[in-house]
């Protein structure tokens, strides 16, 4: 979002990631078939039952780029969706959870 890419955006990103963690199971259920075989915790993935995020951590559920942390603004990457996911479903879930949802 624009607020994530603007000054102070890193705090907005961290709040969005916190919301994603609270809805981890719902997101996993919609993120494509076969994720239980892919998200094993090995080979640069987080375990399917564990939500973790980190800066430059390719083994996390959510990866924040080193430049994002350094600049205090930027983007994050949700590494959980499978290649067979429905991009409309996943995009709408991420937007709904991170922008609209009030936990």
| Contact present, 12 and 75 (Cβ < 8 Å) | no
Architecture of domain 2-100: 2-Layer Sandwich (3.30)
Rounded Cα–Cα distance for residues 29 and 43 (Å):
21
**What is the residue extent of each domain of the chain?**
2-100
Residue 37: both structure tokens together: 């075989």
Rounded Cα–Cα distance for residues 27 and 24 (Å):
5
34 confidence band (pLDDT: 50, 70, 90): confident
Among residues 83, 42, 43, 39, the alpha carbon closest in space to that of 61 is found at 39
Per-residue model confidence as pLDDT tens digits over 65-96: 999 999 999 999 999 999 999 999 999 999 99
Residue 40: both structure tokens together: 């094993």
pTM for the full predicted model: 0.90
């Amino acid at each position: 979002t624009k607020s994530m890419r603007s000054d102070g955006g890193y705090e907005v990103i961290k709040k969005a990631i916190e919301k994603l963690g609270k809805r981890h199971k719902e997101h996993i259920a919609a993120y494509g078939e076969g994720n239980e075989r892919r998200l094993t915790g090995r080979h640069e993935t987080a375990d399917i039952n564990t939500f973790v995020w980190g800066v430059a951590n390719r083994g996390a559920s959510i990866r924040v780029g080193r430049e994002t942390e350094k600049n205090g603004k930027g983007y994050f990457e949700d590494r959980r969706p499978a290649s067979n996911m429905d991009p409309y479903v996943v995009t709408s879930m991420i937007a709904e959870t991170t922008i609209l949802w009030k936990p």
